[in-house]
Structure 1
Amino acid sequence: MTSTRARLAPWLGLVLALVLVGLAFGLPRWLEWEVASRAPRNASDLEVPPLHGLWHPQLLGPGTVPALLLALLGWRYGPGLAERLPWRRLLLASYAAGLAWLLALALVDGTSGLTRVLGNDYEYLPTAREVDDVGALLRGYVDRIPYAHEDNWPTHVAGHPPGALLFFVLLVRVGLGGDLAAALVVVALAATTALAVLTTLRALDAEDVARRAAPFLVLTPAAVFMAVSADALFAAVAAWGLAALALAATAPGRGALVAWSLLAGLLLGYGSLMSYGLPLLGVVALAVLLAARSWWPLPLAAGTALAVVLGFAAAGFAWWEAYPVLSERYWDGIAADRPASYWLWANLGALLVCAGPLLGAGLAYAAAGARRLSRPAVLLVAAAAVAMAAADLSRMSKAETERIWLLFVPWLTVSLGLLPPAWRRWGLGLQVAGALVVQHLLYTSW
């Protein structure tokens, strides 16, 4: 990469990202476009497309001071600690800081910042409390997806395979079915996502990139949308499935290869029964194997994942039968009121709010220097970008991508670990500042 190209690429990416975000927020208001971001709670509410939320400034909340302290300490000391700490201590510190960051941002709105989402009637938890027969649930799941059914599923239950609902059924049955208890479980699991990505990079001989990316993965602006979002749970399951696949592909012996491959298949197979979008991460799975230069785990991992899906089919839920029915419900509902002329590109604006505007710089730098930068990291970033583009162009995703694309955000964030040192230092400040601004100025629905 020439010095001029290396110098200009991140600036171009950052400027384009900021312009895209500005247009995504501004054009619907300036041109009075009807883009059906969400239904306002009352006439005075101001919608904020491309996000699924409302303008609701709150300059101080219970979590504000802890969030500011974490942001300042993370910006000042995070990069240095990530470079120096022994690996296991780095993982432990990353989990502790990430968990604190998630909780602090959510608690800006008080305890309701943790409970209001999962306790919503459109979400999984209220339905999970009513489930008393899992077998009957699976056998009748597809029938209850259409709006026409007199007892149709709530929005999020209908919009996902039953694996998501069954997770919350499990929480209810072990005594963690309260709004706050379930929220804390989701937060605790969501905070492990960064560790899975770091583990994947190290397994693929990219520990240097993992250490540089760690502060960005931990103090991610996506934490605003992760804290109590079931989609963050799906992202965590997928990330650990990919980490297991990387460990399988680099395993020193046959036994370890088989064990990690089985675990990867179980996690990715069950993950595909939590979210219809998760199979798109198959592109990232192939990138993992390509980066490891080993295809040995593929048959066993893929076979195990398929066995999980077929097991659910034998129990009454066939993924391939459910998805077309969901698609009909989707297009009978709000999707018909969300114009593709806006959302095909505004989806990216929502992503940049979720992942932070520095993502534009990271992706541009990775693209410009793909041949000279860490091969495993570039492959993971490129694969995540391809998967995201497929979701966008297929119109599988149309709005709410600040939540839906949490599957892709951690892998795209790896690109920030490829940026030059000067960019990483002030760029981390930009990322945490963006998270604080979004959390304090907007009422986010996730």
Structure 2
Amino acid sequence: MSTLSTVIAFILLFGALVFFHELGHFLFAKKAGILCREFAIGFGPKVFAFKKNETVYTIRLLPLGGYVRMAGEDPELIELKPGLRVGLILDENEVVQKIIINQKSKYPNARIVEIERADIEKDLFIQGIEEEEDERSKVYKVDPKAVLVDNGIESQIAPLDRQFASKSLLARTLTIFAGPLFNFLLAVVVYIIIGLLQGVPSDEAKLGVITEDGAAIEAGLQEGDIVHSIDGEKVTKWAEIVEIVRDNPGETLTFQVERNGDVLDVDVVPNDVEGQGKIGVYAPMDKSFVDAIAYGFTETWFWIKTIFIILGDLVTGGFTIDALGGPVAIYASTEMVAESGIFNLLRWGAMLSVNLGIMNLLPIPALDGGRLTFFAIEALRGKPVSKEKEGFVHLIGFSLLMLLMILVTWNDIQRFFLK
């Protein structure tokens, strides 16, 4: 696989995982009435951007994450202090639609007002004295969707009821939890698609795809043959066929199979592969809709349990940090998996999606799990932790996370490129 193809596969794969993660945050935030200023895939400089309704959708240069910038999570825009001269664009009802901070000359229809008092979060008004009028103070009502214009850059104001912090504890918790949840749902959907297109492994005593260079095709076995017995021993499950073949490398086995209503005896000599018998047959596949749905959930649950077991080994010392992989390892693995076919690439993506969801649920500051931990503390004590304390913890956590990422990335570079 060429380097360019690997890069494209990696960007598309990782971008899809991040997109669905952020989509979960975004949809639940919108449902809660939170103003979402930006939906971003990637970090760093903008590569592509467009605005629809209240949100700017951006693709940024570094495809290693993403975010939904919600109102109230950062300091809100510009404070309108007394004495500040602004331009106001009003509608036909004298309600403020735009507040121009700089470059007022570019808006000839704006009313220039010197602010006496202003509140664009709660009461939504601006009180001030208009130029070229008498010295009487006037109060202007501000539209809840009014826009601040600063040096040509427009930003919608965020009344308190549109800010993240103003929402109920349940709404905030669901908004943050939705990101990992969508990663799990993505994995379920991908496994269902695999089940529908490729089929779900079945435990029937039936032969699946026959390889072109195995003992089965040499003996004359065919895909779809139903196996009744092997050397006179009755079999009813695929696992039983595998066990008998595995335990008899190099030995002649007589398969009694049913094919198109006829019963045939076929002698097969399993190849000896590192002491185990192999005949070159895959498990039968079932493409039923019900089995595909079940496969989506069971496979996702399998990986959730597996990843938690690995995390437990990491804590107890059974799994070392040197074995962890970062973006470089994911890139290298994606190249190998992509070469083995689209279905394996889909499985790899689904497993990574589960992994991303779990990692974000861990109680690590700066990640979703860290924020959910603070929400749990808020529920127990009846009031939120101060923004200053929470922000400090997230800053420390983010710094340690970046340090870990640097360490893991360096391990990856040594493992894959400095051998």
TM-score bucket of the superposed structures, by smaller chain: under 0.3
Structure in which a larger fraction of residues adopt strand: 2
Structure in which a larger fraction of residues adopt helix: 1
